[in-house]
């Protein structure tokens, strides 16, 4: 017996019945992004491993535990085989910044506003709403003009408006600020001082994080770690006056835009490149895995990757999470794929050839057409037409050949009429299909 293969663990097939909703999310998001004048960029699904290690931080959980690495063979100058490190992209920001630098987009425009849609990969434990291959809609605004609190407000409101346009009317937005790179370093020192007396109470992972990336302790889900964090008096003493003023401006602009938010002193984001504004969006209907997306400002990443001294801000929304949230809404069902306009029915070799040719004519006019490619009874073929949700069935039998006309059955109105073969050349010009 042949081996039966299954979809790899942590991945999922997106079946035809589900594609309608995926396409709706994709198209609606693109419509909103277009209104904000963001342009699409597509980068490879794998990059050099060093790009992610450098951008996300060698000590980040993603780099340490979740990267899906590939091994690529190449020959050096002496002809010896060398392994070079490549990794499937765990997020989109690093690849977009790499492309921005490599293609010298800073020389072409003062503010580059980009978006991407596509799969990302992380080798983590699969669970509901968290897969090893998942999909994101992301935005990056990069350039000399990007260091403005107005752009922070635009990017945050854009992420919220995408979700609201899809029908998620009450996404929960949390915001915080890490301040400048210097402020963030001060914040890390203060956290270490205040957590130090309770390090022994942390989980093993967070004991390692204490030295490598203390910020990750703040969002650990372990109850013991949560208890330690609750004892820490987090305030904004690490912020400079300029950073406080910047953050206040962002908040005031969000209020002016009607964007409802909640401040969270514990919100830090785990990746090394974040500075100043950070934010997360969630939906309570998703349970413990409630995040819909997140983002923030990363003012030093472009220069850290060898590019110019320009600032940037962006976000990413998880498409699978959005689908799960939409499924919780009353009255929201999977969107059906487009119906078949004409389903052709034939009974023998002669009528099959005629039906096949007429179907080609109909398709050339933009109609969606199909037929049963096996000879079968009228009853069997009509069942297939029903499954295809056909609007009309074009029947070609011996009588139709003699009359040089097809019998057309309107499946919605349960009526039937004849149409000359010649009329199929211009279906939109007939009274029956002019509005189709």
Judge: domain 342-429, CATH 3.40.50.1100: no
Enter the pTM of the model.
0.85
Of residues 124, 119, 131, the one with CA closest to residue 88? 119
Write the DSSP assignment of 214-226 as a string of letters. GGGGGG---HHHH
Angle at 289 between CA 284 and CA 293, to 5 degrees: 80
Write the DSSP assignment of 410-434 as a string of letters. ETTTTEEEEEEGGGGGGGGGSTTTT
For the chain, percent helix, then strand, then coil, each to nearest 5?
40, 25, 35
Of residues 176, 184, 191, the one with CA closest to residue 296? 176
Cα 151 to Cα 35, 155, 309, 393, 414, distances in angstroms: 15, 6, 17, 54, 56
CATH level 3 topology of 16-180+240-327? BirA Bifunctional Protein; domain 2 (3.30.930)
The tens place of each residue's pLDDT in the chain, 436 residues long, gives 678 899 999 999 999 888 888 999 999 999 999 999 999 999 999 999 888 887 776 656 666 667 788 866 555 566 554 545 888 999 999 999 999 999 999 999 999 999 999 999 998 788 777 889 999 999 999 998 788 999 999 999 999 999 999 999 889 999 999 999 899 889 889 888 888 888 888 898 888 888 888 888 887 888 888 888 888 888 888 999 999 999 999 999 999 999 999 999 888 876 677 889 999 999 988 877 789 999 999 998 999 899 999 999 999 999 999 999 998 887 665 555 678 999 999 999 899 999 999 999 999 999 999 999 887 889 999 999 999 999 999 999 999 999 999 999 999 999 999 999 999 999 988 877 766 5
Angle subtended by helix axes 319-327 and 16-35, to nearest 10: 110
Element (H, E) at 277: strand 275-282
Domain ranges for the chain: 16-180+240-327, 342-429
Please state, in angstroms and rounded to a whole number, the distance separating the CA atoms of residues 302 and 381. 60
- 99 close to 134: Cβ distance less than 8 angstroms: no
């Amino acid at each position: 017996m042949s081996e039966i293969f299954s979809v790899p663990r942590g991945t999922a097939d997106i079946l035809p019945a589900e594609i309608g909703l995926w396409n709706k999310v994709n198209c609606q998001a693109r419509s909103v992004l277009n209104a904000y004048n963001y342009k699409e960029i597509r980068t490879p699904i794998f990059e050099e491993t060093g790009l992610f290690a450098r951008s996300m931080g060698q000590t980040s959980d993603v780099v340490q535990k979740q990267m899906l690495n590939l091994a690529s063979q190449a020959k050096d100058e002496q002809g010896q085989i060398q392994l070079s490190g490549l990794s499937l992209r765990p997020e989109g920001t690093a690849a977009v910044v790499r492309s921005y630098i490599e293609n010298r987009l800073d020389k072409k425009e003062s503010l580059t506003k980009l978006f991407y849609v596509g799969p990302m990969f992380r080798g983590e434990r699969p669970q509901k709403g968290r897969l090893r291959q998942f999909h994101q809609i992301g935005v990056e605004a990069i350039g000399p003009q990007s260091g403005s609190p107005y752009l922070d407000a635009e990017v945050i409101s854009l992420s919220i408006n995408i979700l609201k346009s899809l029908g998620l009317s009450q996404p929960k937005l949390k915001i915080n600020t890490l301040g400048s790179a210097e402020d963030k370093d001060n914040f890390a020192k203060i956290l270490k001082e205040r957590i130090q007396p309770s390090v022994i109470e942390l989980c093993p992972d967070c004991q390692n994080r204490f030295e490598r990336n203390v910020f990750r302790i703040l969002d650990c889900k372990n109850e013991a770690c949560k208890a330690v964090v609750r004892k820490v008096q987090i305030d904004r003493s690490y912020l400079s006056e300029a950073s406080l003023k910047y953050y206040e401006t962002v908040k005031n602009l969000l209020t002016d835009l009607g964007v409802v938010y909640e401040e969270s002193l514990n919100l830090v984001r785990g990746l090394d490149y974040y500075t100043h504004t950070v934010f997360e969006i969630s939906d309570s209907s998703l349970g413990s895995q409630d995040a819909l997306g997140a983002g923030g400002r990363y003012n030093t990443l472009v220069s850290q990757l060898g590019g110019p001294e320009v600032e940037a801000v962006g976000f990413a929304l998880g498409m699978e999470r959005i689908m799960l949230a939409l499924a919780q809404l009353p009255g929201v069902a999977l969107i059906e794929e487009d119906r078949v306009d004409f389903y052709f029915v034939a009974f023998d070799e002669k009528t099959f050839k005629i039906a096949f040719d007429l179907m080609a004519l109909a398709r050339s006019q933009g109609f969606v057409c199909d037929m049963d490619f096996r000879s079968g009874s009228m009853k069997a073929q009509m069942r297939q037409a029903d499954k295809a949700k056909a609007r009309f069935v074009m029947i070609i039998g011996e009588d139709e050949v003699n009359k040089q006309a097809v019998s057309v059955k309107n499946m919605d109105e349960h009526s039937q009429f004849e149409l000359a073969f010649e009329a199929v050349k211009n279906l939109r010009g007939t009274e029956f299909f002019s509005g189709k």
